[in-house]
């Protein structure tokens, strides 16, 4: 028994050594040529041992199995310990896809498994909370698979602008109006400060970080918005002709985007000039209520101008 165990360990180490010599992987034929005296049963036992330990991975190239040395963390190895070869193939394909995920058709092509087998394996991995499905905005009714702990890429979810694969145009419009309102008020303050032209122009500009902080403090978004998200909204304000964007180099922050209100191409309707026109909770605003005109800070600030 002891001699058999040593022989199995030797066969396994030789397989690992062969994998290290060939980055593209090795086939059964290479293993057999290296160890012609090793029987098929012992060779299979050595391969299964290495797969369970996570020291090698198995992929299919056409109809041929390829064995490669696998560089993984101990956490990844422990998660796949005891997997069957096909389960390991599917898990590795999903792992390689990162936070963009992989469609079941691509899993089947990469792993050379049928629909029924792929579906069964994916269901098992989902039950074990090793993977999850995420709806992709790129194609209706398409789900992609990724590792359970990963946060999906914005190219999959659509970021803050999508909810259940639907583009939230009304939400974007509210942000557009609030960004412009901030820039407009800043320009009005600059005009009333009675400074020289250069100082007035500088005071009227706001950085994207400054506007992002303002929107965040308003609390009108249920999802966490990044500065990049707000810059995308500000792009729409610029495209609408309501603001202009310039850039300056800061020694500490690098390239900074600055925005200044210019005025819309068409004058806004009277209601939009009021804070109520762009208020996201105006339907809940009633006299004497928790949200009411009497306690509204936005109306108070607007009346000062």
- How distant, in Å, are the alpha carbons of 5, 48, 51, 78, 226 from that of 69? 22, 14, 10, 16, 40
Domain ranges in the chain with CATH number 1.10.10.10: 1-71, 81-157, 163-266
- How distant, in Å, are the alpha carbons of 182, 205, 235, 247 from that of 261? 9, 8, 12, 15
Residue 14 CB: number of other CB atoms within 10 A?
15
Determine the longest span between alpha carbons in the chain, in angstroms: 95
More confident residue, 162 or 270: 162
Write out pLDDT tens, residues 162-181.
655 566 778 888 899 999 99
| Whether the Cβ atoms of residue 110 and residue 93 lie closer than 8 Å to each other | yes
Residues comprising the chain, all counted:
305
pLDDT in the model for residue 3: 40
What value does the mean pLDDT take over residues 48-69? 82
pLDDT category at 208 given cuts 50, 70, 90 is very high
pLDDT in the model for residue 80: 65
Task: Report which listed range, 63-77, 115-129, 245-259, is most confident.
Answer: 115-129
- How distant, in Å, are the alpha carbons of 63, 173, 189, 244 from that of 104? 19, 36, 57, 45
pLDDT in the model for residue 32: 92
User: Facing residues of 69 across strands?
Assistant: 56
| Whether the Cβ atoms of residue 291 and residue 281 lie closer than 8 Å to each other | yes
Write out pLDDT tens, residues 66-91.
998 876 555 555 666 677 778 888 88
Phi and psi at residue 235, in whole multiples of 5°?
-60, -40
**Who contacts 100 (Cβ-Cβ below 8 Å, separation ≥6)?**
144, 146, 152, 153, 155, 156
- Mean pLDDT, the chain, integer: 80
CA 4 vs. chain centroid, Å, equals 49
**What are the DSSP calls for 151-185, one per residue?**
PPPHHHH-GGGEETTEE-HHHHHHHHHHHHHHHHH
Rg of the chain's alpha carbons, rounded to an integer? Answer: 30
pLDDT exceeds cutoff 90 at 210:
yes
**Sign, CA torsion 226/261/169/139:** negative
Q: Which of 73-82, 155-164, 264-273 bottoms out in mean pLDDT, i.e. has the lowest?
A: 264-273
- Looking up tokens 């694969």, which residue turns up? 165
pLDDT in the model for residue 180: 93
**Sign, CA torsion 79/81/82/86:** positive
What value does the mean pLDDT take over residues 95-115? 86
Distance, CA of 25 to CA of 30 (rounded, Å): 10
Residue among 29, 17, 99, 105 nearest 66 (CA): 29
Distance, CA of 217 to CA of 220 (rounded, Å): 8
pLDDT exceeds cutoff 50 at 261:
yes
Q: Is 19 exposed, middle or buried (0-12, 13-18, 19+ CB in 10 A)?
A: buried
How is residue 282 written in tokens? 């105006």
pLDDT exceeds cutoff 70 at 275:
no
* E runs forming strands in 19-149: 56-61, 64-69, 131-135, 143-147
Residue among 221, 214, 229 nearest 280 (CA): 221
pLDDT in the model for residue 77: 55
Question: Which class does domain 1-71 fall in?
Answer: mainly alpha
CATH 3.30.2350.10 fits 163-266, yes or no: no
CATH number of 81-157: 1.10.10.10
């Amino acid at each position: 028994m002891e001699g058999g165990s040593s022989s199995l360990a030797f066969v396994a180490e030789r397989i690992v050594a062969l994998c290290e010599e060939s980055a593209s992987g090795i086939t059964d034929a290479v293993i057999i040529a290296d160890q012609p005296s090793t029987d098929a049963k012992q060779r299979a036992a050595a391969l299964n041992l290495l797969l369970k330990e996570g020291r090698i991975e198995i992929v299919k190239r056409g109809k041929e199995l390829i064995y490669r040395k696998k560089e993984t963390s101990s956490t990844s190895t422990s998660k796949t310990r005891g997997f069957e070869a096909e389960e390991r193939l599917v898990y590795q394909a999903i792992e390689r896809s990162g936070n963009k995920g992989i469609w079941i058709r691509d899993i089947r092509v990469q792993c050379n498994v049928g629909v029924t087998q792929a579906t069964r394996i994916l269901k098992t991995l989902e039950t074990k909370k090793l993977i999850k499905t995420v709806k992709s905005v790129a194609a209706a009714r398409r789900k992609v698979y990724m590792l359970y702990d990963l946060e999906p890429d914005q190219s999959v979810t659509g970021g803050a602008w999508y909810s259940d694969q639907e583009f939230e145009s009304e939400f974007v419009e509210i942000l557009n109006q609030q960004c412009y309102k901030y820039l407009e008020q800043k320009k009005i303050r600059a005009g009333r400060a009675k400074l020289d032209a250069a100082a007035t122009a500088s005071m009227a500009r706001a950085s994207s970080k400054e506007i992002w902080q303002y929107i965040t403090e308003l609390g009108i978004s249920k999802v966490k918005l990044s500065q990049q998200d707000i810059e995308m909204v500000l792009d729409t304000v610029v495209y609408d002709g309501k603001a202009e964007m310039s850039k300056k180099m800061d020694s500490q922050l690098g390239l900074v985007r600055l925005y200044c209100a210019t005025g819309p191409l068409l004058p806004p309707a009277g209601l939009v000039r009021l804070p109520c026109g762009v208020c996201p909770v105006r339907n809940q605003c009633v006299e004497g209520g928790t949200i009411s005109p009497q306690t509204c800070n936005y109306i108070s600030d607007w009346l000062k101008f």
